[in-house]
Amino acid sequence: MKKIVILTVVTVVMVFSTVMIPRLFEKTLAKAEITAMSNIIYTEYVNATGEVDCNEEMFIVNAAVREDDISKVKIGQQVVISGKGFGDRVYNGTVDVISDTARRLQQGATGNTVVDVVVTIEDKDEMMRKGNTADVKIIISEQRQISVVAYKAVRQDKDGTEYVYVFRDGVAVRKDIVTGLELSDGIEVLSGLLPEDKVLMSQEEIENGNYVKVVE
């Protein structure tokens, strides 16, 4: 009888060890989603606003560039032009004139110092009208591919060092990174991450060396 009782107890303990303990351990695991770096094509540009005008049967945009951006603007740079009056149409243009004086532009309660720039429109059509408001993007760099990661994945320690946690063999591993541009798609990663790294979306309970359960 004692042997039967002992055998029963041992069996219960074994079942608890193999079934219940892993379940309890799983419940205590930090949970996080996985992301990764992605590559995007980035072009740097200066934003400006202006108005469409006509000059000897040629459509132009008289645009106002903020003084803190004007040093980046050069004659001959390519321009992309859009606006509410153009629907989904986007036009191409070129910077033709940069004023040699600045002026104060008052917009509502705020004002900015701006420099006037004349942009020649290269591909006008029936949607282009004198007086149209134009949103101008002056392209100031060639297209280049950059790597970005989600903002939510990036942390910063007390020393200002930015880092992420990557998922490796079930464990969160800290990797320090160097970041660059802050974009709508995420933050540029200049160094510290590999394309194959599985980056954990930031959760407060995750620390270096923690076991982590990946959630969809």
pLDDT in tens, 150-165: 999 999 999 999 999 9
pLDDT value for 32: 79
Do 54 and 134 have their domain in common? Answer: yes
Give the domain-ending residue among 139, 162, 177.
139
Residue 72 CB coordination number (10 Å): 14
Give the domain-ending residue among 109, 139, 169.
139
User: What secondary structure letter does DSSP report for 132?
Assistant: -
The pTM (predicted TM-score) of the whole model is: 0.65
Residue 87 lies in a domain: yes
Q: Are 52 and 58 within 8 A, CB to CB?
A: no
Residue 20 lies in a domain: no
Do 129 and 159 have their domain in common? Answer: no
Q: What is the share, in percent, of the chain residues with pLDDT greater than 90?
A: 54
Residue 30 CB coordination number (10 Å): 16
pLDDT in tens, 154-198: 999 999 999 999 999 888 999 999 999 998 889 999 999 999 999
For residue 190, give its domain range: 30-40+145-214
Residue 122 lies in a domain: yes
Question: How many structural domains is the chain composed of?
Answer: 2
pLDDT value for 216: 66
**Residue 175: half-sphere exposure toward Cβ, Cα within 13 Å:** 22
pLDDT in tens, 87-104: 889 999 999 999 999 999
Nearest Cα residue to 34 out of 190, 216, 156, 195: 216
Higher pLDDT, 12 or 64: 64
Query: 209 — alpha (psi -120 to 50), left (phi > 0) or beta?
Result: left
Q: Are 104 and 111 within 8 A, CB to CB?
A: yes
Q: Taking residues 194-215, what's their average pLDDT? A: 83
pLDDT value for 63: 95
pLDDT value for 110: 77
d(CA 33, CA 187): 18
Query: Three-state DSSP class for 124?
Result: coil
- Is residue 13 over pLDDT 50? no
